[in-house]
Amino acid sequence: MNEVITRQKLLNDVREVVHDAEILVKESAGTLGEKARDVQERLTARIGSLREYLGEREDSLAERTVGGVQDVDRIVREHPYQALGVGVVFGVLLGALLSRR
Cα(61)–Cα(73) distance, rounded to whole angstroms?
A: 18
Q: In which band, very low, low, confident or very high, does the pLDDT at 4 lie, cut at 50, 70 and 90?
A: low
Structural domain for 13, as ranges: 2-99
pLDDT digits (tens, 9 = 90+) for 20-39: 777 777 776 666 667 667 77
What's the total number of domains in the chain? 1
Q: Is the pLDDT of residue 56 over 80?
A: no
| Tens-place pLDDT, residues 89-101 | 988 998 888 888 6
Phi, psi of 33 (to 5 degrees): -85, -175
The H or E element containing residue 35 is helix 34-78
> What phi and psi, each to the nearest 5 degrees, are found at residue 45?
-65, -40
